[in-house]
Amino acid sequence: MKKQKRSVKLVIVIMLASLLNVQRANSMAIRSFVALPIDQHGYVVRFSFEHLTGTDMGTFITSAAYGLAIDKALLIGIPYQVSPNDKDGFGDVSVLYRHTVLQDDFFSGTSRFALLAGAIVPTDSNRDPAVQAGFVYTFFKNRHEFDIDALYQAGIENRPDSGRYDISWQYRLLPTVYPDWGISPEFNVVTELNGRWSEGNEVTHQVTLGLQFVNSRWVIEGGVIKNLNNNEDLSVILSTRFHF
């Protein structure tokens, strides 16, 4: 009987330890993928779709991230363009290496700064590649998270230079306080200022408003994107990601 009780206690301890060691999904910007923390040898897969309202145009993006080490990660994005007149096709593949150079963990929060470097690889022989570099900064405390990232993409040969920035604020609506025991889903509101630029054109500034449902291993999120340069442009975005 005593051995049986000890066995039951051991099973309970193992189960509780497994629950505590679940790699939680995290909040992050809806329009960017570079700020997401990745455990060593962990990986994340994300599927998103962005649709310009009033048109037949949209973009599917499949993204993946792999944790090479605690402070190193590989990020890949593969877009697929949907457009009228049967001009669908894969866009250029983005490959980024992220190296976290500064991290400060404190009570109920953390701050991180990482450098980004990589390339844009064309999927069409008629397009030229590009090299890209930038940074990402994250500050998280209690119910607030701020993510700031910027990328400059230098075109090779005939490819024009381009760039982007994303400034995101995520606020946890629920739970207001994490429970002492167990894992609780999160509901977050997300506000972003985004910018996109291509050589020869002015910067397109956008505002994104969205919501996130963050479970222990997966996330569903969506929002609306308002183009500040053109009051008539309004897009919707929906994505889901899975953490392993």
Query: What's the confidence (pLDDT) of residue 178?
Result: 80
Query: What's the confidence (pLDDT) of residue 94?
Result: 98
Query: What's the confidence (pLDDT) of residue 25?
Result: 76
Return averaged pLDDT per consecutive 10 residues of the chain, 244 residues in all. Answer: 48 39 72 94 97 94 97 98 84 98 94 98 95 98 97 98 98 87 84 97 97 95 96 93 96
Query: What's the confidence (pLDDT) of residue 13?
Result: 40
CA distances to 26, 83, 168, 173, 243 from 216, in Å:
8, 35, 22, 16, 8
Query: What's the confidence (pLDDT) of residue 24?
Result: 63
Query: What's the confidence (pLDDT) of residue 87?
Result: 77
Query: What's the confidence (pLDDT) of residue 47?
Result: 98
